Structure 1
Amino acid sequence: MKITAESITPERCDVLLADESIPVLHRALWQLLWETDIRVLDLLSLDVREVDLAGGRIVRTGTSRPAGTAGGVGTAEPVPLGARSLALIAPLIADRTKGPLFGAGNERLRALSWEEAVRGAQEHGQAIHAFRTAGKRYREAV
């Protein structure tokens, strides 16, 4: 499918995130991209142990991001999550205590790949980066 939108409106994002026919794996990723300043590859590398559902935050234990950036090495600052992110992440974690947050596959979970993430967004007419860039613009405007 041809990508039809390099940007996304808050209304379009809401429609996609509420669409239960879209796997929660993709909707959770899109919501985190919208809500946080964490890059796609850094989100895809998240481990279940780095998500504090009770505290409503992501606490990175290591990443390729430069020190001092959101979620990067050298910063002890957790990334707070909103109610929608937590609701979408909870079923991804379920009763697991380790492994990739964005786990794909059947018997043995592996991290969702970049290609799968891109394809999931493209199937709904969006560029994967549209969620992060539009979310950032929206957060800066409010």
Structure 2
Amino acid sequence: MYGDDDTHITGQITSAQIAEAIRHKKYGRDMREAIAQGFEQFIGILGRVSNLESEYSDLLSKYNDIIGRLNDDENEIHSLQGDVNALTKKHKDDIEAINQRLTKLEKAVFGYGEYEVNYETPPQTIDHVSEINTDSNPKLKGE
């Protein structure tokens, strides 16, 4: 076991020196100084821990906020994917309908199928029609 230390504390001492001083100094001003410096260091460490806890809490809050926004964005993306799929299907259906109409038109114009037109024989003209009118009363040549 250590004997009592008669030296005086001068200046700032480390945590280990504080522990040794409390164990081995005689009661008096050196003991009080060692205890005071120990508490000062403890208060400083406690303040840093408190600041870290506060920063951790702030970061955790920001993290949870970001995760919440990411979840909202992910839900919106899933919703938009459904809309994109529906529009893609409609687009494909529209293209199919247009292709069917074009096929019918090609058959009618170019003579493929039931709407075949013979372009080698010129169309016959009607002698009594002098003018074509699109209104509801067509005018004929003798009228």
**If the TM-score is normalised by the length of the shorter chain, which range does it land in?**
under 0.3
- TM-score normalised per structure 2: 0.21
Question: Larger % of strand: which?
Answer: 1
Report which of the two structures shows the higher radius of gyration computed on alpha carbons. 2
Q: Flag the structure with more relative contact order, 1 or 2, with Cα contacts below 8 A and sequence separation at least 6.
A: 1
TM-score by length of 1: 0.21
